Structure 1
Amino acid sequence: MNLVRRPRAPLHHALHAASANLPTLLLIHPLGADHTFWDACIDVWRGRIACLACDLRCSGASPGADEPPSIDTHVADLDALRLSLGIASVAPVGCAIGAMIAAAYAAAHPEATEALVLSNPAARSSEEAARRLTERGRLVQAGGMQAIMPAAVERPFLNQTDDARRRSYAERFAQQDAARYAQSVLGVVDADVHAELAAIRCPALVVAGEHDVLFPPDEARAVRDRIPGARYVRFDGAAHFVPYQMPTAFASAVLDFLADVPRDESTGALHLEQ
């Protein structure tokens, strides 16, 4: 019997075009968020650089999955989305688990990756992190999102002001579909991009948050050390979600980074180190 491979259902996304001769930013949200995670950053980038923000599989309005989606699944989804939109190349920008997905994308698709920004990254899930993620997934499966509240928001927002943006994030997090969130969590329990980091050859910026206790600055520096020529910056005052907690400063840092990357004078494309 011949098996027919079904095309991937497209991820829910928002594409913000711009006239600037810069790569499209492929914005990859952290676990438990959706494409609106990037809204405040996009307000800074709007009109200056194209932005493609999407909901990962099992998140937001994107399709679900029959089994917990792995990092490889997310990478395949993202490249299918890029191709469906006719975008030749991107600069992935990811946060937390989204940063691990961004790194895996850059390693798997070097021909389509012009630059890379990893915020609050880690090279792999530690045994403790894997245990916590597994427990979180099971708790949500049994008791819904309220079973992990408010701790699930308190840790990534350590030492952050209890303002309207933090409350908005917490409300959106708590209201998401529990079964789909559990799938997302269980899919990345054993996340590991240690080998992929060393294969990255595009210009890269690694960002850490001073108060990040989930993927601390030491882990971000270790990620930087694995990527040839990568830059590193720590945002004092921020925690696990630098792009959300300091969006204007983060968005400006991304623009400054891209402006410093050498460009091909004839095409305007970013120059990639081979």
Structure 2
Amino acid sequence: MNWLSHNGVGLHWRRDGDPNGSAILFLNSLGTDLRMWDAVLESLPQGHSLLRLDTRGHGLSDAPAGAYSLEALVEDAEAVLDQAGISSAIVVGISLGGMMAMSLALKAKDRVRGLVLSNTAPRMGSREMWSARMATIRENGLEAISDQILDRWFADPDARCANGPWRSMLCRTPVDGYLGCCGALATADLTDRVAEIACPTLVIGGSHDGASPPDLVRSGAERIAQARYIELDGIGHLPPIEAPRQFADHVTSFLTEIADD
């Protein structure tokens, strides 16, 4: 476990693998934490420095009240790279984490050697959609919408079970943290900028994704010159959980591709 304070916010991050290897930074989705990557990391080749961050408001990171911004979340990720002594990394982001990864690649081109963007898009949802979700959570808590969220997350009914670990992870997310990140998603729109992303990019969609439908993910990939899109059949919004070995295999192939360039 590693900790840092950035702009008064405590951030929890972790490093696995070879500390001297090439760096890969993993950024989690809304309502999860860095543990969502556990099974993926087990299937990746050795020799990489594997960094994971609990996004602000999630896991063991602080959850300040109020709306966050995508820019602030990206600065958190940069602070982790700084503390880890990493000058450049491949960044793997899913959903909200994918938007963070895209924004980081636009802001700090020299620090991002490649992107893996999973189940994400330059714009996710509308202000009205996020405002309605936030109002429901303020009134009734996360548990009240957990069934809806898990239905969008997973194609596999077993992953949606009432006593499952992923429901527990979602419902234990601090309400202030979840709402803060909803605020960031409500205002974030990279549609007019993603064409500026110049690094090699792998974009992954899930055929049964109810949160970021594959057509939305594919259309985002088409805006990035060096992007390649793949779709995982029968998989929902969170392939690192639902199909970790398959996800890791695609990441490994991508690492090999860009190493040969």
TM-score after normalising by structure 2: 0.90
Whole-angstrom CA distance in 1 between matches of 2:174 and 2:73: 19
Structure 2 unaligned blocks of 5 or more: 1-5
Distance 1:134 1:164, change over 3 A: closer
Superposition deviation, residue 68 in structure 1: 1.3
Q: Which position in structure 1 is the counterpart of 2:158?
A: 162
Higher Cα Rg: structure 1 or 2? 1
Number of aligned positions between the proteins = 255
Matched, 1:196 2:218: no
TM-score, normalization by structure 1: 0.86
Aligned residue in 1 for 2:3: none
For 2:42 and 2:244, the matched residues in 1 are separated by 9
Bigger mean CA offset, 27-36 vs 43-52:
43-52
8 Å Cα contact 1:137/1:183 also seen in 2: no
Match of 1:244 in 2: 241
Counterpart contact for 1:119–1:243, Cα < 8 Å: no
Any conservation in 2 of the 1:26–1:93 contact (CA below 8 Å)? yes
CA spacing shift, 1:186–1:233, aligned 2, 3 Å: same
- Aligned counterpart in structure 2 of residue 257 of structure 1, from 238, 251, 254: 254
Q: Report the equivalent of 2:66.
A: 67
Give the C-alpha shift of residue 163 in structure 1: 4.4
Q: Does 1:40 align with 2:36?
A: no
Write out per-residue CA displacement over residues 144-176 of structure 1, whole angstroms, 9 at most, x where no aligned residue. 22221221212221x313149992101111122
Deviations 1:99-127 (A, max 9, x none): 11111111111111111000011121343
Establish whether residue 147 from structure 1 lines up as the match of residue 148 from structure 2. Answer: no
The alpha-carbon deviation at position 11 of structure 1 amounts to: 1.8
Q: Secondary structure at the match of 1:250?
A: helix
Separation in 2 of the partners of 1:38 and 1:93?
10
For residues 234 and 95 of structure 2, the distance between their equivalents in structure 1, rounded to whole angstroms, comes to 17
Distance between the aligned counterparts of 2:80 and 2:144, measured in 1?
33
Counterpart of 1:101 in structure 2 is 100
In the TM superposition, residue 40 of structure 1 has moved relative to its aligned partner by 0.7
Identity %: 28
How is 1:1-274 mapped onto 2 (pairs within 5 angstroms)? 7=7, 9-18=9-18, 21=21, 23-45=22-44, 47-127=46-126, 130-157=127-154, 159-163=155-159, 167-263=164-260
